[in-house]
Structure 1
């Protein structure tokens, strides 16, 4: 299951991603927000991160205006590796090399067409399990 979260700056893009997930029959849980009314992004980063920490969800997608604040907030949580991606190459590389478990997007930075392609790449790329990559992830976790 995919955990979704956003602030007001990411709400509209989240709606586009929900359409993609529903078209692909990918289960998700929407942790909010649920409108363009101003909210505090750390709240939603925390809810999505907690869903991954507990195993309720396998991966997450977080969206704020730039993707920066919400990814910083999520990365404060143990075991969370949130990657802000603006293209498919970054989405593929962060899954293969970093085993990122949260994709962060900027609702005011990336258009819906590209965002859906980035999401598709992120969700369909596996971690390489190469020893050098696992070693680096272990160092991050320390």
Structure 2
């Protein structure tokens, strides 16, 4: 299977259960899942987890990444520091669809203390099923990329 169906998942200790549920869900839909943990509940720094997942997406090893922490905010900020990453935190399906369609997001962040499992799976489905629309949105995505230096 090529990188077109490979996805990386990472979280901090606060989101292990939800990350595992998402991993099983996307695997059941035919995605090759690279779950980079953590596997145990000891505290781990979300910036390191976010950057590690973002590195796999930026390198082309994985097409998409899904990252989680308590709110989804901190891990998303860390991921967005990696050149070539466009990650948004989403708590609803509309936003998850729009970050793909309008922003060509390649990573999704979810707050495990913000949304329940059923909604999280719907958010993931909305993100993964949406396609970038290009056109006027491509110009704006190019502008964002140019800001990376």
Same fold per TM (> 0.5)? yes
Q: How many residues align?
A: 141
TM-score (norm 2): 0.92
In structure 1, how many angstroms separate the alpha carbons of the residues matched to 2:92 and 2:114?
11
Q: 2:59 aligns with which of 28, 51, 54?
A: 54
- What RMSD over aligned residues (CA atoms) do the two structures have, in Å? 0.8
SS in 2 for 1:127: coil
Q: Deviation string for 1:43-88 (max 9, x for gaps)?
A: 1111111111111000000000000000000011111001100000
Q: Which moved more, 1:60-69 or 1:35-44?
A: 35-44
Match of 1:134 among 121, 132, 138: 138
Alignment match, 1:25: 30
Q: Equivalent of 2:48, from 6, 25, 43?
A: 43
Question: What is the DSSP-based 3-state SS (H/G/I as helix, E as strand, rest coil) of the residue aligned with 1:10?
Answer: helix
What SS does the corresponding residue of 1:17 show, helix, strand or coil? Answer: helix
Equivalent residue in structure 1 for 2:124, among 107, 119, 122:
119
The runs of 5 or more residues in structure 2 that have no matched partner are 1-5
Runs of 4+ in 1 over 4 A off after TM superposition: none
User: So what's the TM-score if we normalise by structure 1?
Assistant: 0.96
Runs of at least 5 residues in structure 1 that lack an aligned partner in the other structure: none
